[in-house]
Structure 1
Amino acid sequence: MKKELIRPEVLAPAGTLEKLKTAIHYGADAVYIGGEAYGLRSRAGNFTYDEMREGVAYAKEHQAKVYVAANMVTHEGDAAGAGAFFRELRDIGISAVIVSDPALIEICITDAPGLPVHLSTQASATNYETLNYWQDEGLERVVLAREVSMEEIAKMRENTDVEIEAFIHGAMCISYSGRCVLSNHMSKRDANRGGCSQSCRWKYDLFDLPMAGERRSLTSQGTEVEPFSMSSVDMAMIEHIPDLIQNGVNSFKIEGRMKSIHYVSTVSNVYKAAVDSYMADPENYICKQEWIDELWKVAQRELASGFYYQRPSENEQLFGPRRKIPVYAFVGQVLAYDEQTKIATVQQRNAFSVEDEVEFYGPGFKHFSQIITSMRNEDNEVIDRAPNAMMTVYMPVSQPVSPGDMIRKKK
């Protein structure tokens, strides 16, 4: 008897209200955001209660969900006010909170009954006994540690029926499940309370330090070798969608609350297309090269499959010259389109000019490229370049476009 396949949720990051709406517009079934307390991204555009209300209303209108990450590690005094915070989220209509600290979990369950709790990846869930423990504690879903293998996920699904959420795309942390103190030491910013300065991404070198005399680099002396970092490559599981679905992963989590709407729209679009394609015809599913190519248009680093199939080696770390360099830049977003004149109203995000070749893309994997032949500014003046951030530009387009469509060009 064949195992019934359950369609996984595509879960996208949303650092701002604009990113929330973009992710859902481009196919995400759910988004995760941060509030103004208890999260791990203090520099992301964290949501006020009013912004949450607007985001929840938009999500409900599009049959999507909103989760709030409250996954900080609490020290004495940090949990003050958490009960009121969780009650407010529940009353706003947040679908679940993502928590790692047992104290915050207990407060949420006790003080805000009815608000579902998901275990954060920071809690390092790596075996089915742990999943069953948290299910017994009242949690509906566990976000797995990024260090688990596909074989371990299969074992978990055989031995538990709690929902499993797993990261499928985005940045990887060099420390186990993100529990790092490098930032604390290097910049006095606590990574586990929202202040990570990404010290692992800095450039380091190895020096000879003699008792007397000047220090001397042992790696870059007389060469063009880039200094060493502790930085890992990013994850991309686009080529392994069948394994994830067949092994019972309920939610495909995309990392990147601090990434741009270009990233959020592209990655949501790709994984939505891949999941839809697989669920429509699992027997004849193939991973399309155009999906892989699309992800490379927003990749910031090299891509690999993390821990799913093997232990990462030096090939999954960043050092030396880049092995593949992103070649596209996000330059604008369509605000409106006039069908009669075939003129698009565009909001500029990076400079572009007449005679540039640009690519338009939208939800549902809609793409086309064209040369910009002419432009006018808000005063209806002819211009040959759009250099000012967020300026409004009017330009003829060769095919119909829609509000929310994005524009990119080769660097």
Structure 2
Amino acid sequence: MKRPELLAPAGNMEKLRMALIYGADAVYMGGKSFGLRAFSDNFELFELEEGINFTHSLGKKAYITVNIFPHNDDLTELPGYIRAIAGFGADGIIVADPGVFRMVRVNAPNLPIHISTQANSTNWSTVVFWEDLEAHRVVLARELSFADLKLIREKTKIELEVFIHGAMCISYSGRCLLSNYLAARDANRGECAQPCRWKYYLMEETRPNQYYPVLEDEQGTYIFNSKDLCLLKHIPELITAGLNSFKIEGRMKSVHYVATVVKVYREAIDQYMKNPNNFQIKPEWLDELNKISHRDYTTGFFLKETSENTQIYGTSSYKQSHDFIGLVKEYNPATKRAVIEQRNNIKVGETIEIMQPGKPKFIQEIQALFDEDGNPIAVAPHPQQIISMPVAQPVVPYAMLRREVNKKNYNEL
């Protein structure tokens, strides 16, 4: 068996670093234009180069998303942008539109092309089509079952990438006009307003302003609202099927989300590769995935066609069991103190959890806090405030401090 690539989202430079340090083999990121995440922080051109260089310094890969379906006006700046990406040494460019594919071939003939999930590759013949055009990889549609994935793998030689975790789209991999119609924001140019998460009612045309719940619920219903994909339990099948890259969705998600999901799947993949015959899903992995902001989980189309149970009808909100409250900047072994950048209100007396890249997490009570000048403080209330605190065990940079949401001391903040 070949070890699959674990591919993580990088919405900005901090998320890129966190993804790689917590165990991703590769990252995908987008510039300020030509990607499908207009409301992510994204990267300026010089930041793309910086991100690629940092990724390569760790011996890992960086792919750039250019997967919009462009209009004529979008094409003016595109050739220069493609040449810049190639000049930075990107390991691949992710495209969905045949016109963009052609422009890459003309302007950067040696740049590997990955066919985006937006291209909706749902069968082996489509994949062979891209293979014949010498694309390097196809990102398969999320609407495929495991049987579909296996058949495509058997009939093709090209690299295949599959989504294993993250938000699902109500339409075929983004082919949705709800945002265009209801909010005048083009989903396929990176501006989706996510109307699939909105609340809807039924109105009979001769009774204007008389709204009826679609279900027996006076609050309305979220009839388009999909659960989040989670294929953690199916890592063995995906690996043995010979799929090349496992992709995590979430360029607009938090640092906490990126680091936690990457760490869980890194451990799962590594443990399976080390001992496939005795591999078991650890309960703590599932527990970790519940600590981040998420919707209820589903296996999507992986086992069979979806049913009404893959939707969430009562709410569009996320849930999570823990809040991300701080990021370790450095550790002083002499004083046994960690320097921390605050990300949420922290105070003395709270019980927290510290998660680290490549190490087990541990729990401790905050016994003392100090400001940048070394003065003791009872609370750190200011965003990104630099503080220090004693820690029960040595910690490494990029370790994360978390607090259980339903703890009494959290409710008192």
Segments of 5+ residues of structure 1 without an aligned counterpart are: none
Distance 1:356 1:179 in 2: 46
Distance 1:218-1:57 versus aligned 2 partners, 3 A rule: closer
Equivalences for residues 5-154 of structure 1 within 5 A: 5-154=1-150
For the residues of structure 1 that align with 2:150 and 2:12, how far apart are their CA atoms? 35
Q: Deviations over 1:70-116 (max 9, x none)?
A: 00011222222322211111110110000000000011012111100
Q: Residues 284 and 179 (structure 1 numbering): CA distance in 2 closer, same or farther, change over 3 Å?
A: same
Match of 2:326 in 1: 332
Q: What is the TM-score of this pair, normalised by structure 1?
A: 0.95
1:325 deviates by 4.0
TM-superposed deviation, 1:206: 2.9
Structure 1 range deviating more: 381-390 or 125-134: 381-390
Q: Distance in 1 between matches of 2:207 and 2:27?
A: 55
Is the CA contact (8 Å cut-off) linking 1:226 and 1:321 kept in structure 2? no
Whether contact under 8 Å (2:9, 2:251) holds in the other structure is yes
CA distance in 2, matches of 1:279, 1:362: 22
The partner residue of 2:210 within 212, 215, 218 is: 215
Q: Structure 1 residues 229-238 or 21-30, which shifts more? A: 229-238
TM-superposed CA distance for 1:58, in Å, is 1.1
Q: CA deviation at 1:210?
A: 5.4
User: Is contact 2:67-2:118 (8 Å) kept?
Assistant: yes
CA spacing shift, 1:211–1:90, aligned 2, 3 Å: closer
- Could you tell which deviates more after superposition, 356-365 or 19-28? 356-365
State the SS of the aligned residue for 1:333: strand
* Aligned position for 1:374: 368
Q: Distance in 2 between matches of 1:220 and 1:392?
A: 50
Counterparts in 2 of 1:321 and 1:116: CA distance versus 1, 3 Å: closer
Tell whether the 8 Å contact from 1:146 to 1:166 is kept in structure 2 after alignment: yes
* TM-score, length basis structure 2: 0.94
Distance 1:321 1:84, change over 3 A: closer
Matched with 2:410 is none
Q: Is the 8 A contact 1:11 1:253 kept in 2?
A: yes
Change (3 A) 1:85 1:224: same
- Give the match for residue 409 of structure 2: none
Bigger mean CA offset, 351-360 vs 117-126: 351-360
Contact 2:197 2:222 in 1 (8 A): no
Q: Distance in 1 between matches of 2:113 and 2:73?
A: 22
Q: Which residue of 1 aligns with 2:289?
A: 295
Aligned to 1:231: 225
Question: Structure 1 113/253 Cα, relative in aligned 2: closer, same or farther at 3 Å?
Answer: same
Alignment correspondent of 1:171: 167
Match of 2:390 among 381, 392, 396: 396
Other-structure match for 1:199? 195
Q: Whole-Å Cα distance in 1 between the matches of residues 189 and 53 of structure 2?
A: 29
Work out whether residues 11 and 40 of structure 2, in 8 Å CA contact, stay in contact via their aligned partners in 1: yes
Distance 1:291 1:373, change over 3 A: same
- Residue 302 of structure 1 contacts residue 323 of structure 1 at CA under 8 Å; is this kept in 2? no
Q: Relative to structure 2, which stretch is displaced further, 348-357 or 169-178? A: 348-357
Shift of 1:36: 2.2
Question: Do the aligned residues in 2 keep the contact of 1:269 with 1:365 (CA within 8 Å)?
Answer: no
Q: Is 1:181 the equivalent of 2:177?
A: yes
Report if aligned partners of 2:68, 2:190 keep a CA contact under 8 Å in 1. yes
Mean Cα displacement is larger for which, 227-236 or 179-188? 227-236
Give a deviation string over 1:156-195, Cα, whole Å, max 9, x none: 1111110000000000000111111111111111000111
Per-residue Cα deviation, 1:287-317 (whole angstroms, up to 9, x for no partner): 1111111111114200011111112212111
Amino acid at match of 1:362: Q
State whether residues 347 and 391 of structure 1, in contact with CA within 8 Å, keep that contact through their aligned partners in structure 2. Answer: yes
* Range 159-168 or range 41-50, more displaced: 41-50
AA matched with 1:282? P
The SS at the match of 1:63 is coil
Secondary structure at 2:239 match in 1: helix
Aligned letter for 1:82? L
Quick one: structure 1 residues 393 and 226, their matched pair in 2 at CA, closer, same or farther if it must change by over 3 Å? farther
Residue equivalent to 1:157: 153
| Structure 2 unpaired stretches of 5+ | 406-413
2:102 maps to amino acid: E
Q: Deviations over 1:342-372 (max 9, x none)?
A: 1111101111221111100111142001111
SS of alignment partner, residue 77 of structure 1: helix
Residue 344 (structure 1) aligned to one of 334, 338, 342: 338
Mean Cα deviation higher: 376-385 or 354-363: 376-385
- Counterpart residue number, 2:253: 259
Number of equivalenced pairs:
405
